[in-house]
Chains A and B, each alone.
Chain A
Amino acid sequence: MTLPPTVSELRDGIRSGALSASDTCRLALDRIETADGSLNAFNTVSADRALARAADIDRRRGEFASAPLAGVPIALKDNICTRGIRTTASSRILETFVPPYDATVVERLHAAGAVVVGKTNCDEFAMGSSNENSAFGPVKNPWALDRIPGGSSGGSAVAVAAGMTPLSFGSETGGSIRQPAAMCGIVGLKPTYGRVSRFGLLAFGSSLDQIGPFGRSAKDCAIALGVIAGLDKADATSASRDVDDYEAALTGDIRGLRVGVPSRMLANGVDPDISRALASSLDVLRARGATVVDVDLPHAKYAISVYYMVATAEASSNLARYDGVRYGLRIASDDLGAMYAKSRAKGFGAEVKRRIMLGTYVLSAGYYDAYYLKAQQVRTLILRDYDEAFNAVDVVAMPTSPIPPFKIGEKTEDPLAMYLADVFTVSANLAGLPAISVPCGFTASRLPIGLQLTGRRFDESTLLRIADAYERDTEWWKQQPPIAR
């Protein structure tokens, strides 16, 4: 079985002239054409623009001699603004929205030589863990077409898992990169809050949101993070710290690193195949010289409750801007208030309305202290648990998801059951910590499983080093679904 080229192989080939950016782009577009009819990963394919851009890179090859993503085709989640390319957030309310500017990450990716081939399907406004909440239909898991790919960045995960693009980008508020990466058998990285600019990302939970890469390997994600990370004047929450050389961090040497496992938290509710995969992956890390110890995160069990108070409160405020005035769907009315309320009722899907309602409720007079403020206090305790754990260990390891990808439609009627499956991912967002998901096995019915590593703030290098070392001793990341071959 031949594996598709990695990001570094592609860009090195294109930089040297051994490969052409145009052929590489055409290959990606052909793959989308062949596979996406059954996967539904793309909302928009920008073929003409992509081919023109690729031809331009071929023509001016010398100028891209040190471009880290020269000619590499990429896909972007459809909540990241692209100048001149429709950006919908998979919502009816933005179905025809064409941004007049590029998100900062898009500017940086262009400067690095990347070629945007399209915008990927996601849960509406990134709200969901299954990609079923899209106005444009669910995305299918390439490993089992009747199952969810995870969400909310499901389309971006599927673009890489099904071999349509070697690299893609998604966004996270509570696990929306890591969880679909795990469920599709690829690598997904959520950077530290503030490591990557949020300018041009349609806001969901402003204290939680981060953009991050999907790739087939830790190395591909390291290259991508190096491109998008760094201070941005347009985002006051972006961090001024220097950006590490993430590729240089991939030494393969993890001797002496300490890996913490919150075993008490993992004792119940984890699928047995997933527990077994975690145990085996810890053995791989031990064999490479890491030390595995137990850690306690006593407040992590409250993370779901905290998250669904904080994230929905922030969402109810952020989504107030969609009112039918400056952009998006408008339902005409003689009365301004009725125009707002009808446009929003028609334009938003059920999950978005549900979360706006919950967020409005927890912020409303009389409930603010009991729900919102209380959640923000428990958030402090979750943060302290991690900070204390990081006095003793370098990273915390656990499964990315307690359950394998479920059947499409299985949990649609029970939002709480769906929310509870985010139990292992939301803490990193609440505490602002970086976290990565790496392929670490399959269930008995051949559904992918992800190993999650969470690290200290701004220490993406250690996460990527461990993930890369793990890949050197395992073959899971090389597995491809039948549809990708």
Chain B
Amino acid sequence: MRAVAALANLDLEPHEVEAFARQLGDVLTHAEELKQVDTTGVSPTAYGVAQQTVDRPDIVVPSMPIADVLANAPEREQLPRDGGFFKVPRVIG
């Protein structure tokens, strides 16, 4: 559970780890029923409706103003001429 929580970037409380272990155990036990199904040679389905790759002309169109994009950020730095960036804790040295 703790390894999965780390993969999922979730800082879980001990009581959550305990409850999820039990509840996810129930769901996975139920899902064991899939082992009864013979899927030899059956291809997996990713989409219920067949998908095809769509081409489009490579034309520049206006993007959203950077100020609008930054407006919801918990921490940001707005720069002149529609510039700016999201701020995060120091990552490098």
Asked if A361 lies at the interface with its beta carbon under 8 angstroms from chain B, I say: yes
Chain A 364-387 interface 0/1 with B at a Cβ cutoff of 8 Å (1 = within) = 100000010111111111010000
* Chain B residues within 8 Å of A327, by CB: 72-74
Interface residues of chain B: helix, strand, loop or mixed (majority): loop
* Chain B residues within 8 Å of A431, by CB: 48
- State in angstroms the CA–CA spacing of A259 and B21 once bound together: 43
Tell me if A98 and B72 are in contact (CB < 8 A). Answer: yes
Contact of A357 among B5, B13, B45 (CB under 8 A): B5
CB within 8 Å of A: which B21-80 residues:
23-24, 26-28, 30-31, 33-35, 37, 39, 42-49, 51, 54, 56, 64, 68-69, 71-75
- State in angstroms the CA–CA spacing of A437 and B91 once bound together: 51
Given A327-B72, A378-B37, A341-B27 contact (CB < 8 Å):
no
**Nearest-CB distance from A336 to chain B (Å)?**
5
Q: Please, which residue of chain A has its CB at the minimum distance from the CB of B47?
A: A207
Tell me if B43 and A380 are in contact (CB < 8 A). Answer: yes
* Chain B residues within 8 Å of A415, by CB: 23, 26-27
**Nearest-CB distance from B25 to chain A (Å)?**
10
Tell me if B30 and A416 are in contact (CB < 8 A). Answer: yes
**Nearest-CB distance from B24 to chain A (Å)?**
5
- State in angstroms the CA–CA spacing of A251 and B51 once bound together: 32
* Chain B residues within 8 Å of A361, by CB: 4, 24, 28
**Nearest-CB distance from A39 to chain B (Å)?**
29
B interface residues, how many (CB within 8 angstroms): 50
* Chain B residues within 8 Å of A193, by CB: 47-49
* Chain B residues within 8 Å of A353, by CB: 10, 12, 16, 20
Tell me if A383 and B48 are in contact (CB < 8 A). Answer: yes
- State in angstroms the CA–CA spacing of A377 and B5 once bound together: 27
Asked if A354 lies at the interface with its beta carbon under 8 angstroms from chain B, I say: yes
Given A207-B46, A432-B49, A326-B73 contact (CB < 8 Å):
yes
Q: How large is the interface on A (under 10, 10 to 19, 20 to 34, 35 or more residues)?
A: 35 or more
Tell me if B68 and A302 are in contact (CB < 8 A). Answer: no
Contact of B56 among A233, A326, A377 (CB under 8 A): A233
Asked if B89 lies at the interface with its beta carbon under 8 angstroms from chain A, I say: yes
Tell me if B42 and A377 are in contact (CB < 8 A). Answer: yes
| 10 closest cross-chain pairs (CB), A and B | A432-B48, A376-B44, A330-B74, A327-B72, A432-B49, A341-B11, A377-B39, A100-B68, A345-B11, A305-B31
Interface set of B (CB-CB < 8 Å, partner A): 1, 4-13, 16, 19-20, 23-24, 26-28, 30-31, 33-35, 37, 39, 42-49, 51, 54, 56, 64, 68-69, 71-75, 86, 88-91
Interface set of A (CB-CB < 8 Å, partner B): 96-98, 100-101, 192-194, 207-208, 233, 236-237, 239, 299, 302, 304-306, 308-309, 316, 320, 323-330, 333-342, 344-345, 348, 350, 353-354, 356-358, 360-361, 364, 371, 373-381, 383, 415-416, 419, 429-433, 457
A sample of 17 more A-B contacts (CB under 8 A), given A304-B30, A371-B28, is A97-B72, A305-B30, A325-B74, A327-B73, A327-B74, A336-B88, A344-B8, A354-B20, A357-B4, A357-B8, A357-B10, A358-B28, A380-B42, A416-B26, A416-B30, A429-B48, A432-B47
